[in-house]
A and B are shown apart, each in its own frame.
Chain A
Amino acid sequence: MVNLSVKIGKLKLKNPVMAASGTFGPEYRQLIDVGSIGAVIAKTITLKARAGNKPPRIAEAPSGMLNSIGLENKGLDDFINNKIQLFPKGKTALIVSISGDSDEEFKELLKALNKIDKVSAIELNLSCPNVKHGSRHGLTAQDKGAVSETVEAVRRLTKLPLIAKLSPCVTDIAGIARAAEKAGADAVSLINTFPAMAVDIETRKPLLGNMSGGLSGPAIKPIALKMVWDTYQKVKIPIIGIGGIMGYEDAVEFILCGATCVQIGTANFVDPRTPAETLRGITSYLAKNKIDDINELIGRLGK
């Protein structure tokens, strides 16, 4: 029997496959069994409701997509009162993604989520390219000091495992990851989307209502892999690899580059069966290669 379970801080996951924030929700229950994978990361919530960006919010790129949703959500209270019960109990860990304009907002979110049994861990979305963060220039995840500050602020408030979600738009992602680790993060997840554009040459206007958005999908996978590999050289906490994973082959690449877990995002829109199929594929890959514990594969990239 192959061991697939991995740990993020004190959280034990039954397997390393996760569904990424904003790409997977209870709406998929009619199509697939959402209970087979290790964790589901709920769509990012903020303290107060956010209307999101004006349409169009979606555009396609070669082997990728651009989105500028703008963190539309109904806020913390609605999540607790109406959304959380829609996620399956027990079998699959529920990780809640949160974002705030200030450390105070992150803290308020944490205080409320601490009290909810169903929440297994928190992902700090420090890197959404579609929102402006208070008075700060750029993203929290683009500044080591800001990352430390936010992670430290919430670390003091919770025993829940904390995952810092990082932006690829930095000169040294490993350095940012190291700052998150030092500040007490239990894991880092990378990468979020790349700021990107697409243009309609007939109307001569951007295809997205918000001018630009975030690029995701297979187009960004090779860059994400390199960032996971670089980060793996610098941090000891688990890395959650994200970026264009469409199947188990992609997931195994990430694991070999140092990822303990993988998140599947854009692929859910293409085929919602992808997370479960990726898990099946990883399991057979391990069996075929006579590896009885997935943890033995992490970072085992030959040279």
Chain B
Amino acid sequence: MLIQSAAKTLYFGSLLRKMSRVFSMISYMNSVSNWVIWRGSPRMSPLLNPLPAGLTYILAAGKKDLMDLPVLNEDDLEEQFVRGTGPGGQATNKTSNCVVLRHIPTGIVVKCHQTRSVDINRKRARDIMREKLDVAYKGELSEVIIKKKESVLRKQEKRRKANENLERKKQFKEVLAADLNPEKDTA
């Protein structure tokens, strides 16, 4: 019995550690996919440099150095808007805010229409582009892929553990039922 409980605490300890890792991973993935992280590069258009935008900034704070993604060179990018010809500005009221970004050297195309703000779509498109370039340059060694695989493995492991627990409970119940039934038979 003693040995068992000791093993249990050990198990829970490692589980807790794993869980905290999973949580930090979740928030980390969040920061990558949903929140804009900007690292300036001298050649980037100044307007697309990092600017803290309230909550976005706070959530992303301290996490931007976790991944070493390639820095974008604005000269390599081709951007497509549907703003069309004409004077633009106040004279136009177009609602097409989708941004299509092409990385000329690799031909990778990213489309972003997550929000109704051109500014935010542009920034997110660049963010996605950096992840895609990382995968294109480093292949299986890309941190993006490694992290993704890790998270898949972690999920599988978690599911396996949960299934094992379920199985144990089921067996325990069967044993209980088996213990009770013979008594019933004799009664």
Decide if A and B are genuine partners: no
Give residues in A with beta carbon < 8 Å to B.
Answer: none
Give residues in B with beta carbon < 8 Å to A.
Answer: none
